[in-house]
Structure 1
Amino acid sequence: MPQAHELANLGAMGHDSHPHGHGHGHQHQHEHQGEDMVEMLELDAAVMGAYLDTATGHIRATLGREPSVIVDVGAGTGVGARALVRAFPTAEIIGVDASPEMTAHIDAAGHPSVRTAIADLDDGWPAALPDADVIWASSSLHHIADPDSFLRTAAAHLKPGGVLAIIEMTSPPMFLPSGNPLEERIAAAMSAQEMDPFADWTQAFSQADLDVVEGLDLSVEISEITPTVLRYGTSWLSRIRAGLADDLTADDLAAIDALVDDESPSSLARRTDLNVRSGRRMWITKPHSTTDTTL
């Protein structure tokens, strides 16, 4: 399972984010990619992160108690963990990620209630993890090789009454006016990938004997175009340019090049019609009650 809060990986599809060689040049490239990913994830949190506190508020209402253990599956740089700390300051939060670079980033923040575990969940649930009141998986489920197995396994590691909260994107971040053909083609190309980042998981929850207690639209729209927003847009589109180079036309790639070139008249920095938004959805689920006798 690749690292998650996986937003940054979407723009690097087809590019290996894990080192397989041991040469100095390869290692240097890998470290650079890791730094770029950290920057992208943190920019996304700075610009689009308003949904996080909304999400944790609904988890609190559904759970109905103070959690003592929360597992953040695919913790990335700790964006979700920070939101969980704000919402549940007395809980132990365990950030699980396959990337040592990501867990090191979380550890460096030094929050006393957060610890990390390096694990690839495609290999099964880490034996060292305790059962949890809340399992949080943000933009990670679509990267798991066997989502049905993961959902069943996660449900089995919930404490009684615990919740599994899944957040996934419903569309990529968009920056141009609604209905822009370029961004529609980008979204279509992303959906066509083997790991569809915009999949609807409702049927998978049912197959895993999970009841959806609440489904919530977490879309965000940005009204103020700040330098950070522009940097985010440029970083995102640059990653899309690299990740979808084989899937978009030459004209589309040239259009992206112009959008990220501050010297271009059509760059993001010079446009006055930006409409910055992103779509996400959260499902709060619980294991189907064994006492339910409804036919």
Structure 2
Amino acid sequence: MTQAHPHTFDHGAAPGRHEDHGTAGQGEILDLDAEVLAEHTVSLIGWLPLKSAPHRIVDLGCGTGAGTFALLDRFPEAHVTAVDASAGHLQRLREKACARGVEERVRTVLADLDGPALPDFGSPDLVWASASMHHMADPARVLRAVHDALAPGGLLALVELAGFPRFLPVSAPEDRPGLEERCHAVADRLHAEHLPHRGADWGPMLAAAGFTVEGERAVEVNIEGTRSEAVGRYALEGLRRIRGTVAGALPPEDIAALDRLLDTDGPYSILRRDDLVMRTERTAWAARRT
């Protein structure tokens, strides 16, 4: 997805459901998320209890296409309808599809999933909703609509992150240890009202929408920065965005330490650190329309 709120810093890194603000920066975060978590996404797709290879797939809250392209790679006969509220994200996805030579297998749909009705997707065999459902104002309504849209026996794969990934050790930075966690604590408080479903247990909501939950899988993610330089870039972009959210709520000493981390030309740049580890947790639910 999706994902994420395009105009605020969201700890889910998922695609937005509202107007198209801050698309370029959000798109960069989504692309980095896709790059760093590619192996985990492939693993989750492989875990799904599919009875046969799906031919019609909907990527709901597709963002810049992390799920879309992983699904196209896994199911070479499938076509994907990629749905998002951000025209900028969809344009980025179309450009990637052309570069990969799969544009004929991708259809993009611009839609606000909190609108009065979902677009007509036909009867998909699989709906993939990664880091997008917690953005919905009324996720129960969206889940019911997805249930009714699926072909009989079709599957919904719902994937959520526990929160925005952490990267720094608790002891960092040396002059303000615990800085990253304090930043996220402030952001969590500021966004709690707008994202009340983040971190929810989606099993009961899926059952209430008429699904049969056939599997739940929690995956802990720990990716060392030495494995991929994208980890450092992800940490940099994430902290840049969070700074704008928390600047007025942290003491000046914390903001100064944060600025030193964000100064890519300075000696304390986060890109110069060799102790970064991307830490987060993803939980997936596989729910069938019976």
TM-score bracket, normalised by the shorter chain, equals 0.7 to 0.9
Match of 2:87 among 100, 106, 113: 100
Distance 1:191 1:5, change over 3 A: same
Separation of aligned partners in 1, 2:235 and 2:153:
40
Equivalent residue, structure 1, for 2:174? none
Distance 1:202 1:255, change over 3 A: farther
In the alignment, is the contact (CA less than 8 A) between 2:231 and 2:276 conserved in 1? no
**Deviation at 1:51?**
1.2
Separation of aligned partners in 2, 1:244 and 1:57:
38
Separation of aligned partners in 1, 2:31 and 2:258:
22
Which sits farther off after the overlay, 90-99 or 180-189? Answer: 180-189
Equivalent residue, structure 1, for 2:241? 239
**Deviation at 1:113?**
1.0
Separation of aligned partners in 1, 2:116 and 2:219:
29
Distance 1:124 1:213, change over 3 A: farther
SS of equivalent to 1:38:
helix
Give the partner amino acid of 2:233.
R
**Deviation at 1:228?**
2.6
Match of 1:131 among 120, 123, 128: 123
Equivalent residue, structure 1, for 2:217? 216
Distance 1:199 1:246, change over 3 A: farther
Match of 1:80 among 34, 59, 67: 67
Structure 2 gap ranges (5+): 172-176
Equivalent residue, structure 1, for 2:4? 6
SS of equivalent to 1:66:
coil
Distance 1:38 1:235, change over 3 A: same
**Deviation at 1:218?**
3.0
Does residue 261 in structure 1 map to residue 263 in structure 2?
A: yes
Match of 1:56 among 45, 68, 77: 45
**Deviation at 1:56?**
0.9
**Deviation at 1:97?**
0.8
**Deviation at 1:265?**
4.4
Which sits farther off after the overlay, 107-116 or 94-103? Answer: 107-116
**Deviation at 1:143?**
0.8
Does residue 280 in structure 1 map to residue 282 in structure 2?
A: yes
Separation of aligned partners in 1, 2:216 and 2:38:
18
Separation of aligned partners in 2, 1:138 and 1:10:
18
Aligned sequence identity (%): 35
Separation of aligned partners in 2, 1:143 and 1:86:
27
In the alignment, is the contact (CA less than 8 A) between 1:11 and 1:237 conserved in 2? no
Distance 1:285 1:9, change over 3 A: farther
Give the partner amino acid of 1:166.
L
Distance 1:143 1:66, change over 3 A: same
In the alignment, is the contact (CA less than 8 A) between 1:260 and 1:268 conserved in 2? yes
Distance 1:229 1:9, change over 3 A: farther
Distance 1:68 1:235, change over 3 A: same
Equivalent residue, structure 1, for 2:201? 200
Separation of aligned partners in 1, 2:280 and 2:23:
23
Q: Cα RMSD between the aligned structures?
A: 2.7
Distance 1:102 1:83, change over 3 A: same
TM-score, normalised via structure 2 length: 0.83
Match of 2:76 among 77, 89, 94: 89
Separation of aligned partners in 2, 1:189 and 1:153:
34
Equivalent residue, structure 2, for 1:119? 111
Give the partner amino acid of 2:31.
E
Equivalent residue, structure 2, for 1:189? 186
Structure 1 gap ranges (5+): 20-29, 290-295
SS of equivalent to 1:43:
helix
Equivalent residue, structure 2, for 1:293? none
**Deviation at 1:172?**
1.7
SS of equivalent to 1:123:
coil
